[in-house]
């Protein structure tokens, strides 16, 4: 797998720099090329003043795997199978033996700075010069080993990190746990039982509910509309541990025996629990065992929430999967399972498991909670409405109702968020279906009809926020006259011809004035016509069918602007009606951004007339 070859000069520079730290590193084997890849490998011996030589020898051998593009690219440190560290520490991948034809173990250590994950070298203090980068990483590996020997790889206040559960395949399991849901488990109604699962796709499974072994409901998991309405497709087992089952220092169990031992330390008999659950899994299909345990948010902090780590059980004995020597009974099945299926040395098949609680997903970016808790009505599921709805739902808006009587046609695909599979379907229904499948906590309903004719007065009073995206004068006139909830906020969002301007009106219930809107916007609509002209594009043959001109990127641009205005107004609870006009700005160098070109309030206009 490793062959002698002439390394590029940059790698030679990096290796020569190690000569300046002979007390830290010694060369064991010069650069070799890893067959079938653009990776170069250097074998070194790193020496440290170890505080625990049983775990971290004073001198240990390491294989340094480097990209051909050095000093760019990745640098990875792996313990040697012969002379390397053998246990797994924090900030290290599972240090198993790995592939037989490679001389190093799997346990790559983490030497990255916190900024490395952002992918911007400018944020990262690691040097990028060929003569410095390899040396910098070797010195960082030395510090890692020193900290490992002193049990100091994690510090108080450092974010908690699970051990590396080695998974196979790309299937993911998702659960929904938060600090609030901890109360439903403490004290637990039971320590093991069955869970209902939804196989949302071939690659994604979610948990819907937990019951005890006797069928008593422990917890219904809160999800959005798509998951709640999906059919339960499989049953899993679950057990609740008091702490993370781990092999010290920080290795996830690799075999059935290691998992049994880790749980036995907590007084949990894994084999007995599996025996009691097994009768539900004798159908020749794969089933999961969900192992739950509390975790903190920081290493020295209190328990924060539950984590569920999914494990795929081996196929248990049943019917045709049976052989002579065992009786076809639950006792006979279990005897074979014990002797052959669940052998102590059986490798565990962990499944990639993730907490999809709304606050966990929101860490990547979400609207403020005061916005996400609102129930919004979207009138018009056209191009602008679909883009704005996508922005809002993906940013955490939990409840949205979409009303539209129209159907998606081929021409809409130029700028609509829906795809060809929705052509011929009602826009509101298709958009709601798409949005419900876009995030696990979305609850989007559709009204297939006209506004406001197909909505009752009781329905109108459900909404905290009303957003009109039709750009239709008739609808605007209706909005100001309807019996909305007293605290509702009303918005009109539209774009001008050619989508070079955005118009957003906001008002509280009772102050939404079509007359004000018309007076404030007329001059801008006149400019739209003057700048674009009256020759609208058309599609099809025969009679002239004018269509509204707007490019997809322009629609998305203004949908984003509108989202920010909605957030601002909901956070500030506006009273007087206001009109915002945004315009794309072009200068000699081309497009430079979006600018607020007009802001008119109804109260100011009334005062100016007095």
Which helix (H) or strand (E) is 312 found in, with range?
strand 303-312
Residue 174 to residues 62, 191, 303, 318, 585, Cα–Cα distance (Å): 36, 20, 20, 28, 44
Q: DSSP string spanning 222-234?
A: P--HHHHHSPP-E
Whether 174 and 104 share a structural domain: no
Residues 58 and 173 in one domain: no
My answer on whether 119 and 211 are in the same domain is no
Determine which of 50-64, 101-115, 532-546 has the lowest per-residue pLDDT on average. Answer: 532-546
Say if 137 falls within a structural domain. Answer: yes
Pick from 149, 182, 209: which residue ends a domain? 149
pLDDT class of 120 with cuts at 50, 70, 90: very low
Secondary structure letter of residue 302 according to DSSP:
P
CB 135 within 8 A of CB 64: no
Reading phi first (left if > 0) and then psi (alpha if -120 to 50, else beta), residue 380 is in left
Tell me what pLDDT residue 57 has.
Answer: 96
- Asked whether residue 479 falls in the same domain as residue 333, the answer is no
Question: Do 342 and 437 belong together in one domain?
Answer: no
In the chain, the number of structural domains is 3
CATH of the domain at 506: 3.40.50.720
DSSP code per residue over 134-164: HHHHHHHHHHHHHHHHTT-SS-TTPBP----
In a domain, 522, yes or no: yes
- Give the domain extent around 427: 365-609
Shared domain check, 240 and 130 = no
The residue assigned the tokens 């998992």 is 259
pLDDT digits (tens, 9 = 90+) for 130-150: 999 999 999 999 999 999 999
24 & 124 share domain: yes
Is 301 found in the same domain as 229?
yes
- Average per-residue pLDDT for the chain: 91
Q: 286 with 199: CB under 8 angstroms?
A: no
Alpha carbons within 13 angstroms on the beta-carbon side of residue 505 total 28
115 and 172 in one domain? Answer: no
pLDDT at 113: 66
Residue 123: band (very low, low, confident or very high) from pLDDT cuts 50, 70, 90: very low
Instruction: Kindly state whether residues 171 and 247 are assigned to the same domain.
Output: yes
Task: State the average pLDDT over residues 544-563.
Answer: 84
Inform me whether the pLDDT recorded for 536 exceeds 70: no
Q: Using CA atoms, how far apart are residues 90 and 94, in angstroms rounded to an integer?
A: 10
Q: Is 279 helix (H, G, I), strand (E, B) or coil?
A: helix
SS3 255: strand
Q: Which residues contact 590 (CB under 8 A, 6 or more apart)?
A: none
- Examine residue 156 and state whether it is found in any structural domain, yes or no: no
Neighbours of 313 (CB within 10 A): 21
Domain C-terminal end among 107, 123, 149? 149
| Residue 468 CA, distance from chain mean position | 30
Q: What is the CATH number of the domain that holds 76?
A: 3.10.110.10
Residue 162 maps to a domain: no
The reply to whether 161 falls in a domain is no
Statement: residue 528 has pLDDT above 80: yes
Give the chain's radius of gyration (CA, Å).
31
The pLDDT of residue 435 is above 50: yes
Residue 157 inside a domain? The answer is no
Q: Which of 117, 98, 37 is closest to 69 using CA atoms?
A: 37
Please count the other Cβ atoms lying within 10 Å of the Cβ belonging to residue 125.
8
Write down which residue in 149, 184, 201 finishes a domain. 149
Whether the Cβ atoms of residue 492 and residue 479 lie closer than 8 Å to each other: yes
d(CA 338, CA 257): 12
- pLDDT for 326 beyond 80: no
Note whether residue 276 is domain-resident: yes
Instruction: Look at residue 477 and tell me whether its pLDDT is greater than 60.
Output: yes
Q: Which pLDDT band holds residue 117 (cuts at 50, 70, 90)?
A: very low
What pLDDT score was predicted for residue 321?
Answer: 52
Pair 350, 370 in one domain: no
Q: Are 439 and 394 in contact (CB under 8 A)?
A: yes
Q: Starting from the edge strand earliest in sequence, which strands make up the sheet with 75-79, in order?
A: 2-3, 25-34, 39-47, 59-67, 75-79
Count of beta carbons in the 10 Å neighbourhood of residue 142? 18
Task: Characterize the bridge pairing of strands 501-508 and 578-587.
Answer: antiparallel
Query: What average pLDDT does this structure show over 378-392?
Result: 97
Same domain, 144 and 173: no
Diameter of the chain by CA atoms?
A: 100
Tell me the pTM: 0.89
User: Hey, is 561 helix, strand or coil?
Assistant: helix
Tell which wins on pLDDT, 544 or 556. Answer: 556
Q: What is the pLDDT of residue 362?
A: 85
Dihedral angle sign, alpha carbons of residues 312, 318, 323, 324: positive
DSSP per position, 379-447: E--SHHHHHHHHHHHHTT--EEEEEE--B--GGGGGT-SS-GGGTTSBHHHHHHHHHHTTSTT-EEEEE
Q: Is residue 467 part of a domain?
A: yes
């Amino acid at each position: 797998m490793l062959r002698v070859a002439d390394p590029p000069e940059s790698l030679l520079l990096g290796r020569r720099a190690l000569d300046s730290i002979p007390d830290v590193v010694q060369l064991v084997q010069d650069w070799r090329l890893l067959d079938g890849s653009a990776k170069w490998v250097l074998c070194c011996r790193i020496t440290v003043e170890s505080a625990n030589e049983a775990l971290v020898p004073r001198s240990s051998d390491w294989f340094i795997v480097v990209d051909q593009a050095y000093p760019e690219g990745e640098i990875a440190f792996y313990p040697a199978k012969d002379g390397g560290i053998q246990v797994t520490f924090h900030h290290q991948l599972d240090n198993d033996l790995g592939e037989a034809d490679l001389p190093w173990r799997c346990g790559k250590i983490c030497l990255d700075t916190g900024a490395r994950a952002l992918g911007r070298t400018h944020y990262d203090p690691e040097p990028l010069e060929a003569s410095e980068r390899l040396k910098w990483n070797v010195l960082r590996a030395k510090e890692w080993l020193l900290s490992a020997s002193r049990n100091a790889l994690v510090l108080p206040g450092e974010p908690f990190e699970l051990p590396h559960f080695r998974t196979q395949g790309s299937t993911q399991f998702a659960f929904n746990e938060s600090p609030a849901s901890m109360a439903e488990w403490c004290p637990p109604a039971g320590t093991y039982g069955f869970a209902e699962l939804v196989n949302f796709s071939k690659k994604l499974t979610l948990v819907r509910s937990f019951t005890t072994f006797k069928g008593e409901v422990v917890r219904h998991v809160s999800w959005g509309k798509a998951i709640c309405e999906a059919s339960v497709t499989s049953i899993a087992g679950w057990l609740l541990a008091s702490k993370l089952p781990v092999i010290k220092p920080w290795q996830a169990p690799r075999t059935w025996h290691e998992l049994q031992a880790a749980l036995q330390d907590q007084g949990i008999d894994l084999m007995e629990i599996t025996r009691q659950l097994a009768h539900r899994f004798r159908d020749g299909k794969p089933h999961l065992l969900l192992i739950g345990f509390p975790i903190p948010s920081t290493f020295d902090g209190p328990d924060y929430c539950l984590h569920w780590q999914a494990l795929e059980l081996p196929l248990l004995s049943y019917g045709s999967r049976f052989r002579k020597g065992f009786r076809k009974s639950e006792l006979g099945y279990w005897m074979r399972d014990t002797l052959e299926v669940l052998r102590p040395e059986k490798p565990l098949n962990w499944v990639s498991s993730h907490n999809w609680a709304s606050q966990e997903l929101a860490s990547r970016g979400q609207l403020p909670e005061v916005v996400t808790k609102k129930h919004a009505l979207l009138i018009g599921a056209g191009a602008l409405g679909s883009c704005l709805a996508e922005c809002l739902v993906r940013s955490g808006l939990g409840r949205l109702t979409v009303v539209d009587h129209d159907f998606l046609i081929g021409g809409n695909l130029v700028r609509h968020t829906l795809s060809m599979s929705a052509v011929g379907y009602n826009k509101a229904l298709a958009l709601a279906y798409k949005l419900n499948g876009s995030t696990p906590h979305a609850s989007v309903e559709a009204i297939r009809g006209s506004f406001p004719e197909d909505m009752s007065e009781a329905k109108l009073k459900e909404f905290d926020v009303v957003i009109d995206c039709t750009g239709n004068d008739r609808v605007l006139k209706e909005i100001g006259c309807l019996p909305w909830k007293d605290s509702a906020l009303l918005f009109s969002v539209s774009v001008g011809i050619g989508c070079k301007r955005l118009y957003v009106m906001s008002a509280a219930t009772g102050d939404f004035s079509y007359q004000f809107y018309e007076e404030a916007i007329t001059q801008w609509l006149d400019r739209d016509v003057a700048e674009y002209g009256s020759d609208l594009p058309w599609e099809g043959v025969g009679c002239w069918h004018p269509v509204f001109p707007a490019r997809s990127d322009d629609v998305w641009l203004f949908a984003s602007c509108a989202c920010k205005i909605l957030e601002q107004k909901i956070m500030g609870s506006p009273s007087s009606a206001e009109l915002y006009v945004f315009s794309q700005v072009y200068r000699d160098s081309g497009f430079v951004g979006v600018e607020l070109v007009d802001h008119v309030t109804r109260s100011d206009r009334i005062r100016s007339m007095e």
